[in-house]
Amino acid sequence: LSLSLSRDRFTQKRISSSRSPSLGISEALAHTLICELLYPLAGSNVFLSILQGFLPSVVLLVPLRFSVILGAFCPLLFFLGFVVVDQEVMEQIVGGSSEKMSVISNVVGPMGRRPLEDVLASKFLRHPTFPARPPSRQSADRFIPDRSAMDFDFANYMLTETKKEKENAAAVVSPSREAYRKLLVETLLHNRTRILAFKAKPPAPVDSLLQEIRSDHTSSHQARPAKQRRYIPQSAERTLDAPELVDDYYLNLLDWGSRNVLAIALGNTVYLWDAADGSTSELVTMSDDGGPVTSVSWAPDGQHVALGLNSSDVQLWDTSSSRLLRTLRGAHRSRVGSLSWNNHILSTGGMDGTVVNNDVRVRSHVVHTYRGHQQEVCGLKWSGSGQQLASGGNDNVLHIWDLSMASSHGAPSQNQWLHRFEDHMAAVKALAWCPFQSNLLASGGGGSDRCIKFWNTHTGACLNSVDTGSQVCALLWNKNERELLSSHGFTQNQLTLWKYPSMVKMAELTGHTSRVLFMAQSPDGCTVASAAGDETLRFWNVFGTPEEPKPAKKTGGNPGPFASSHSHIR
C-alpha cells in the first residue's frame, strides 16, 4: 500500500523489527503482496476509482503477531476490501504519538469504514519526510525517490548543463581550459551524473521558440534583396554668389520653373539661371520707385513669371522674349510679399493683410478678396487639387480658404475662411502641401515657435507638431519619397531632412552661415536650391535620383494662363 514513503524504507523497517527476527511464510507472503503488488497498484488513480466504486475499503491496524497470522489471508481480505497494516509500522509513520494513534484508530479503526482515496489523502498517513504535494495536472508515476537523498540544485545544474555548454561553446578557447573545467566538475560534484527524473519533458522555452521562428522567417526571406538606404550628400553640389539678396524673412525671392529655369530677385534685379547649361541672364531691373522686388513666382507653363513689387504692383513677364505683358494694380495698398499660381488664377498676399485672387486673362483681374489676417501675409500656397488655398501671416495665424466657398466679385466680408488655426506662436511663412495626400498641409513657425505642424485640411485637425529647435523658414516635400525638407535659421542655419510620418531626422545639411530664407525644388523633384542671408545660392542633391518620366497624356491643348478667348472676357 502506498503511504507516501519509499518501498525500501518500508522493507527496512519490517526486517529490522526486534519482535520478528525472521520472516515466516505468512509474513513473507503479506510483505510480498503489499510491497510488490499493492504498492504500485495503489498509486494508480484508475485503480483507486475502481476499488472505491466496488469495494468498501477498510484499513485494519493490528499488532505484529496478528498481522503475521492474517498475512496468509491478505489476498482474500484485500479482495473483500480490507487492508492489513502493522500497528508498529503505523506508529513509526506518525512518530509514535499515542494521541495521533488514537485519532487514526477513530478514523480508520477496525470497525470504521472510509473510502480508500480519503484514507490515503489523510494528513496522518503522510511521513514527515514527505510533505504534501500540490495537485498536479500531470499523471506521473507515484514511485518517488527519497527526497532527503535528492540534491535539486545539482539536478537543475545537470539538466541544464548541456544547453549551457552549447550556448557557451564559443567561450572555450583552448583544450587546457576544457580539461580544467572537467577536473573541477569531477572534484566538486563527485562525478554525480545519474539523476532520476520521473516527469514529462518540459516544454521548450518561449525564447528558443521565438528564435527558431525568426530564424525560419529570416532564412525563407534571404532571397529577397534588402532595400539599400539612399546616400545623401552632406555638402552642396554647387554654390553661386547672390549679391544684394534682401535678408527679409517675410519675402519670397526664389522659384524654380517647370522648364528648369531658376528665377531669383537680388535687390531691384531679377536673374534667370538655366539649369540645363548653367547660363545666367538678367530679366529686368526695377526702378527705385517700384523696387525692390519682394516676391517671385513662375506660372505653371514655365514661360511666364510674376513679380511682386514693393510699390504694391504685380508684373507679369514673358521670359522667352523678356517682355512685360501686364501690370496688376489696385489689389493691395502696400508691398506684395507672397505669390501663388492656380492655373490662370494668381493669388497675391500683401502687407495690408489681404489675399487677392487675380484672373490674369481678363481686364478686371480681381475676382476674390480674402480678409482674415491682421498683419502681413508672408506665406501663400495653393493645394495640388486647386481647391484650397493656405495663407500664413505675421499675426501667427494660418487660414485655409476654399475656392468653392468664394463668391465671385463679392464683398470681402462674404468670403469666409474654411479653417482658422492659431496654434503657432510666431509668424507662419513656411507652407507645403503634401504631393501624395491632397488634404495634408505642413506649416512652419518663426523664431518664437520653431515648430512644424501637420494639418488635415478636411477636418481641421492638427495631426502632429514637431519642435525643430530653430526658426523654420521654408518647407519642401519630396515628390518621390515620404520625406520633408525644412530650412532653418539661428543657430545652425541648416537644412534638415525628415522621414514622414515618424519625423525622424535623416540628414542635416550645413554650409550656410546665415539663416536659409528661401528654397526651391527642381522640376524632377531631386535637386533643391537654397538662398540665405549670407548672399549665396547653393544646390543640394538631397532627394535622390529622379524617376523615369512617364509619357504625357495627349490632351486637347492647354491654352495657358495668358491665352485669350472671347468666352473668358467679362
Nearest CA to 140 out of 204, 74, 199 is that of: 199
Lowest mean pLDDT among 74-78, 182-186, 482-486, 521-525: 74-78
Task: State residue 98's pLDDT score.
Answer: 47
pLDDT confidence of residue 30: 53
CB–CB of 283/308 below 8 Å?
no
Cβ(512)–Cβ(466) below 8 Å? no
pLDDT (mean) for 430-434 = 98
From CA 448, how far away is CA 356, in angstroms rounded?
Answer: 28
Q: Could you count the other beta carbons within 10 Å of the beta carbon of residue 151?
A: 12
What pLDDT is stored for residue 179 in this prediction?
79
Which residue, chain included where needed, has cell 573541477? Answer: 184
For the segment 487-504, the average pLDDT, to the nearest whole number, is: 95
CB 262 within 8 A of CB 529: yes
Q: What pLDDT is recorded for position 181?
A: 78
* 54-89 pLDDT per residue, tens: 444 444 555 555 555 555 555 555 555 555 555 554
pLDDT 10s digits, 112-127: 444 444 544 444 444 4
pLDDT higher than 50, residue 477: yes
What's the pTM value of the predicted model, to 2 decimals? Answer: 0.60
Confidence of residue 204 (pLDDT cuts 50, 70, 90): low
Query: For 428, what's the count of Cα atoms within 13 Å in the CB-facing half-sphere?
Result: 31
Q: What pLDDT sits at residue 112?
A: 44
Picking from 235, 377, 263, 249, the residue whose alpha carbon sits closest to that of residue 319 is 263
Most confident of 4-18, 182-196, 341-355: 341-355
What is residue 416's predicted lDDT score, i.e. its pLDDT?
A: 87
pLDDT band (50, 70, 90) for residue 563: low
Q: Are 348 and 312 in contact (CB under 8 A)?
A: no
Residues 6+ apart with CB under 8 A from 184: none
| Domains of the chain from N-terminus onward | 7-131+145-149 (no CATH), 238-541 (2.130.10.10)
Taking alpha carbons only, the member of 298, 283, 292, 399 closest to residue 337 is 292
Residue 367 has pLDDT above 70, yes or no: yes
For residue 93, name the pLDDT band (cuts at 50, 70, 90): very low
Residue with cell 498481522: 67
Mean per-residue pLDDT of the chain: 76
Q: What pLDDT score was predicted for residue 177?
A: 79
| pLDDT more than 70, % of the chain | 57
Q: Is the pLDDT at 227 greater than 70, yes or no?
A: no
Residue 197 has pLDDT above 70, yes or no: no
Give the whole-angstrom CA distance, residue 313 versus residue 322.
18
